[in-house]
Amino acid sequence: MNNKLSVLFIGDIVGEPGMNCTKLLLPGLIEKYHAELVIINGENADKGKGLTEKEVSELFELGTHIITTGNHIWDNWKSKPILASNQRIVRPLNYPPGNVGLGYTYHTFDDGNQICVLQLQGRTFMQTIDCPFRAADFALKAIQEKTKNIIVDFHADATAEKIAMGWHLDGRVSAIIGTHTHIQTADACILPNGSAYITDVGMTGPYNSVVGLKKEIALKRLIQQIPYKYEMGDGDERIAGVNVVIDTSTGQSLKIESFIQPDYVKSVFEQFES
Ligand SMILES: [Fe+2]
Ligand SMILES: [Fe+2]
């Protein structure tokens, strides 16, 4: 690893449409950004809920180094043994003690340098788990003894909680990357003390949907205010993510660039024109 490390972070993969899109487009993105580390959020990879061995092995085969998850990982009973046994998969650190899985993990490069991937989860409009801000402080004490290159996946619903975490961690980690809402935000930036930041990296999955859920089901749920069985959306599959370049001698980020492929805005205009 030289002084510059190119990282690809891919947002929440939703079901088979998201997996297919990843298989098709991830290799080109790795090549385009010369990515040396690929991190993917897989909390929705198995039909919207959690991960099974199938998605895990497919993602690792594609060149993924670390998989992050989130609240939906617990919806799938097949995911728990995977969390318990695989050190390349993390779940939010601030779930109460007694739950399986790691909240952070390390990737070691050939030259012995290490990078840490830490996942935290917000509490606003979500489960009332332990404080993510204090969990971050606690974890960083241990992590910073090993490496200053740290990527945080902050899995949270409220934009305010996310940017608050950005300010809390600015200068102490290399990047704070938001996941969970499935809508990419237009605020990718380097914060004043050198941490790359985006409120949400967006969804890899079917955009002909409501954040991955079949449109008709989502509308029934919202209009009639009662539960309807989850069904995956399909069509208009896209991959969303960011490329972050880290100066590994300082742990600070030099660049963050967000993307959705195929390009979302361009495609919408093309639909109007046709
Ligand atoms: Fe998600
Ligand atoms: Fe989530």
- Model confidence at 267, pLDDT cuts 50, 70, 90, reads low
Distance from C-alpha of 251 to C-alpha of 1, rounded to nearest angstrom: 13
Q: With 90 as the cut, is the pLDDT of residue 265 above it?
A: no
What is the structure's pLDDT at 263? Answer: 81
- 183: which 2 tokens? 């809508």
Q: Which ligand is nearest to the CA of 44?
A: 1
pLDDT at 255 over 70: yes
pLDDT tens-place string over residues 49-97: 999 999 999 999 999 999 999 999 999 999 999 999 999 999 999 999 9
- Distance (Å) from CA 153 to ligand 1 centroid: 12
The alpha carbon of 235 and the centre of ligand 1 are apart by a number of angstroms equal to: 18
Residue with tokens 């490496």: 147
Looking at residue 110, its pLDDT comes to 92
pTM confidence score:
0.96
| 249 alpha carbon – ligand 1 mean position (Å) | 32
- Answer whether 7's CB lies under 8 Å from 243's CB: yes
Residues with CB under 5 A from ligand 1 (ion): 12, 43-44
Of residues 34, 65, 72, 182, which has the active-site annotation? 72
Share of the chain above pLDDT 70, in %: 96
Query: Edge-to-edge strands of the sheet including 175-179?
Result: 104-108, 114-121, 150-155, 175-179, 196-198, 189-190
72 in active site: yes
Q: How far is the CA of 35 from the centre of ligand 2 (A)?
A: 25
Residue 205 identity (one-letter amino acid): G
User: Is 46 a residue whose pLDDT tops 80?
Assistant: yes
- Determine how many CB atoms are found less than 10 A away from the CB of residue 229: 6
All domains of the chain in start order, with CATH? 4-273 (3.60.21.10)
Bridge-based pairing of strands 150-155 and 114-121 is parallel
269: pLDDT strictly greater than 70 = no
Distance between Cα 107 and ligand 1 center (Å): 23
Average pLDDT rounded to a whole number, residues 24-36: 98
Strand-pair partners of 153: 119, 177
Tell whether the model's pLDDT for residue 1 goes beyond 60.
no
Question: For 124-179, how does the pLDDT look when each residue is reduced to its tens digit (9 = 90+)?
Answer: 999 999 999 999 999 999 999 999 999 999 999 999 999 999 999 999 999 999 99
